[in-house]
Structure 1
Amino acid sequence: MSAPHRPAARWWALGVLSLVELIVTLDVTIVTIALPQAQAELGLSDGHRQWIVTAYALTFGALLLLGGRVADYWGRKRAFMLGMVGFGAASAWGGLAQSGTELIAARGFQGLFAALLAPAALAMLTVTFTHGRERNIAFAVFGTIAGSGAAVGLVLGGVLTEFASWRWCLLVNVVFVVAGLIGGKLHLTESKAEGDNRYDIWGTLTVTLGLGALVYGFTLAEAGWGRSDTIGFLALGVVLLAVFVRIQTRVAEPLLPLRVLLHPVRGGAFLVQAVVGSIMIGSMLYLTFHFQIVMGMSPLMSGLANVSMTAVIMFLVPLVTKILNTYGPRPLMIVGPLFSAAGLFHLAGITPEGSYLNQVLPALVLLGIGLSMLFIPLQNLALTGVEPQDAGVASATVNSTFHIGGSIGLALFTVLYHSTMESSLHSGNAQSAAYTDGYSATFIASAIAMIAASLISALLIRGTKSELMPQYEEEDTVVPAA
């Protein structure tokens, strides 16, 4: 079926689809603010605490490509409606969870249904607004909401946790889902992709189980890298991912065609995006803990304290867009991670007695400057030299690598945090000093990862501006920010 033709119907559809993008984006961060309360109420250890974030990010990232294919072949509106129902049910389950295991499982199911929702929403946006000024406006609105979703999640999570309960950080999704279902029923029309509709089930299973085993193995490393279970799960993850690569070379309709990954520019962009994900989902979680556990901030103040970085990013987006159009993505991709690294090194200097204005705010400003240089170029670089039939999977891979990088990064940073904190305690330091020592170690590791991202950009992202940037018609296409 075709997209809605009446102008009013199209704009109502944009509102519904933008609401969905806001839900799946803010759910990465909304629970972050609530973690200290949820951990205390459910009796979670620090090691298990991270899985409340990881379960969502890992399933979302690992299943995003399959979700896009399901939406294209089964029907985008149908996938959208099922995804909304499933996401709402998983959110209600998580909000009512009576144990850490229940909450982690619910977050995993949230990620599963988000992986169906997100690509369905973007695909319907694409077929609803096909060209011209309206398309530019629609993608600008959609991209702005995607870019601001993390900040909305932090503030909303702070408000709900402080004035209601951490459980409402999940239960509030039910309200959004009801609005989305009503809007979807009234204003969205069905559409499907033409052609073969075979699914790469074995590829999906091997990559999902492989990534899960790898992340779980890193989690077990907290008790020792030489333990048999640690080595076993890490080895299993590597083997399953190797099998996944093998499958992608042999099936007719691979989940992730290797030609998308093996292009040096795109491969470099995906690696940088994985590093960015590890910072945004992984190490920045510990800044929230520093605010609440060490500095004694309320959940609301903690959420507001985090927003300064997002505000810098949003403020600089127009300037970064002009620089991108003038000089191309390569300078931004090299310099941006260095700004971020400087901010993270500054953040590593936190102390129990330090103030937000001196120790944190300058770091968040530097991080905002650096990340603003990365978000927009990354979307463009994902489509460099890509064949038309691979454009969707290449764009989705950017989002997948962000969440997968966040999952792996969080597991590794958790191990580093615990080992550093335990060492500090054994040295006779106070609990608050041990906490900040652990947080500082994660920020130093994050800064080193950002320097590595700059080197990756310098080595792999080569070419002139016209070679690196897809040739979009100015009036017809706008690529939304990550």
Structure 2
Amino acid sequence: MTLLHRPGLLSKLVILVICQTLSIQAVVITLPTIGKDLSIPDSRQQWIVSAYSLTFGCFLLLWGRVADLYGKRTIFVLGSAWVALTTVINPFIPNEIGFDVFRGLQGLGAAANVPTAIGILGTTFPPGKAKNYAFSTYAAGAPMGSIFGNLLGGLIASYAHWTWVFWALAILAVVVTVAGYLVIPPPIVVQGNQEGKVKATVDWIGALLITAGLMVLLFALTEGNVVGWSTPWVPVLIVVSLILIAAFVLWQRRLEHQAVRTPLMKVSIFHNRRFSAAMVIMGLFFACFNGYLIFVTYYFQDFQGHSPIQTTLRFIPTGVVGLLTAAITGKLIAIVPTRPSNGWSPR
């Protein structure tokens, strides 16, 4: 890809991450309204957001490997098109279970976009300031999506019907799909197996283990908040999920050492302490932040009696600070050197 086309590609990927944050933040603002319209009790309205996050998080590894085999551009476009289709249908679902299922299907498509977008950025921009700028700009899409998501959700909830939130998101998803098809270059065809003697296949056993493990864990954590943590099956599901995740780690380690098939995840990467620390920090952050969004929304609207547009105004500073932080971080990465700690260095 030429230097002339790189800004266009980056802008399309930024729009993608904006849409992903929009799909959560705009829906969070309208949760109380959607709940009333569909007669969903307050205790279960969180599933409207959790269903999306559940499938999104569970299928990231699988989609990343599928994109490696069948092309990042193809999976990116198909994922975006799937998001557009399911988002259009979602408002027409009149019951709670069906509505949550289609929210989960949206997350399934969005999960195909993240690893492909990051992979496209990594292969398009050379190491150095250009790549630092590209990734910091991509990261800025999340707080931008938070700002626009709040505005979109608040304005629609105040002056239109909540279904327009989904139709607006569907229109954006169509734009991303078309732009991805036109702007993202097709993959370069390379003759021969680039993985040597390792079979270029999807590790379906690993995919089943990690997907089932994460889905059971997230279901138990989400539903435990509804039915109560003393309900017997909740801790049982948590234990089962941890066993499945442990089995996945052992299976990936075996594949990595045997070097016969490519694992979904090289567990040896966690020997890097800086990488492991970063993953723990990000996991804790999103675990807290996503819950914060839901509970603060109810606090503003149900307990303080604010309208959706007033709730929107109270969320905007979060997005603005996030946008400024992403911009500053992009500058700092190019200035502050990274050093290996405790004798460990990236491989």
Q: TM-score category by the smaller chain?
A: 0.7 to 0.9
Give secondary structure in 2 for the equivalent of 1:80.
helix
Match for residue 279 of structure 2? 270
TM-score if structure 1 supplies the norm length? 0.63
Specify the code of the residue in structure 2 equivalent to 1:248: Q
Match for residue 298 of structure 1? 307
Match for residue 174 of structure 2? 178
Match for residue 200 of structure 2? 197
Q: CA deviation at 1:150?
A: 2.1
The structure-2 alpha-carbon separation of the partners of 1:180 and 1:160, relative to structure 1 and needing over 3 Å to count, comes to: same
Farther-moved stretch of structure 1 (224-233 vs 150-159)? 224-233
TM-score if structure 2 supplies the norm length? 0.85
Question: Which residue of 64, 76, 80 corresponds with 1:84?
Answer: 80
The structure-2 alpha-carbon separation of the partners of 1:138 and 1:275, relative to structure 1 and needing over 3 Å to count, comes to: closer
Give secondary structure in 2 for the equivalent of 1:284.
helix
Cα deviations by residue, 1:430-462 (Å, 9 ceiling, x for unpaired): xxxxxxxxxxxxxxxxxxxxxxxxxxxxxxxx5
The structure-2 alpha-carbon separation of the partners of 1:263 and 1:305, relative to structure 1 and needing over 3 Å to count, comes to: same
Counting only pairs closer than 5 Å after superposition, residues 21-32 of structure 1 correspond to structure 2 as: 21-32=17-28
Give secondary structure in 1 for the equivalent of 2:59.
helix
Counting only pairs closer than 5 Å after superposition, residues 355-374 of structure 1 correspond to structure 2 as: none
Specify the code of the residue in structure 2 equivalent to 1:245: V
Whether 1:245 and 2:249 are equivalent positions in the alignment is yes
Give secondary structure in 1 for the equivalent of 2:94.
coil
Q: Are 1:248 and 1:258, in contact at CA under 8 Å, matched by a contact in 2?
A: yes
Q: CA deviation at 1:55?
A: 1.3
Whether 1:187 and 2:190 are equivalent positions in the alignment is no
Q: Are 2:140 and 2:322, in contact at CA under 8 Å, matched by a contact in 1?
A: no
Give secondary structure in 2 for the equivalent of 1:249.
helix
Counting only pairs closer than 5 Å after superposition, residues 4-15 of structure 1 correspond to structure 2 as: 4-5=1-2, 7-15=3-11
Farther-moved stretch of structure 1 (8-17 vs 253-262)? 8-17
Cα deviations by residue, 1:118-145 (Å, 9 ceiling, x for unpaired): 2222222333333666555544432322
For residues 239 and 63 of structure 1, the distance between their equivalents in structure 2, rounded to whole angstroms, comes to 18
Specify the code of the residue in structure 1 equivalent to 2:183: H
Q: CA deviation at 1:287?
A: 0.9
Q: CA deviation at 1:105?
A: 0.7
Match for residue 123 of structure 1? 119
Cα deviations by residue, 1:375-400 (Å, 9 ceiling, x for unpaired): xxxxx8xxx87xxxxxxxxxxxxxxx
Aligned length: 334
Cα deviations by residue, 1:189-217 (Å, 9 ceiling, x for unpaired): 21268435221212122222112222222
Match for residue 215 of structure 2? 212
The structure-2 alpha-carbon separation of the partners of 1:322 and 1:133, relative to structure 1 and needing over 3 Å to count, comes to: closer
For residues 323 and 135 of structure 1, the distance between their equivalents in structure 2, rounded to whole angstroms, comes to 13
Higher relative contact order (CA 8 A, sep 6+): 2
Q: Which runs of 4+ in 1 moved over 4 A?
A: 131-137, 316-328
Match for residue 407 of structure 1? none
Q: CA RMSD in A?
A: 2.8
Question: Which residue of 227, 231, 251 corresponds with 1:227?
Answer: 231
For residues 302 and 81 of structure 2, the distance between their equivalents in structure 1, rounded to whole angstroms, comes to 36
Counting only pairs closer than 5 Å after superposition, residues 36-435 of structure 1 correspond to structure 2 as: 36-130=32-126, 135=131, 137-191=133-187, 194-195=194-195, 196-218=199-221, 219-220=223-224, 222-251=226-255, 252-317=261-326
For residues 221 and 103 of structure 1, the distance between their equivalents in structure 2, rounded to whole angstroms, comes to 20
The structure-2 alpha-carbon separation of the partners of 1:44 and 1:261, relative to structure 1 and needing over 3 Å to count, comes to: farther
The structure-2 alpha-carbon separation of the partners of 1:275 and 1:178, relative to structure 1 and needing over 3 Å to count, comes to: same
For residues 170 and 318 of structure 2, the distance between their equivalents in structure 1, rounded to whole angstroms, comes to 29
Cα deviations by residue, 1:63-120 (Å, 9 ceiling, x for unpaired): 1122122112101111111111111111112222211111211111111111111222
For residues 129 and 231 of structure 1, the distance between their equivalents in structure 2, rounded to whole angstroms, comes to 46
Q: Are 1:62 and 1:207, in contact at CA under 8 Å, matched by a contact in 2?
A: yes
The structure-2 alpha-carbon separation of the partners of 1:317 and 1:250, relative to structure 1 and needing over 3 Å to count, comes to: closer
Unaligned runs of 5+ in 2: 256-260
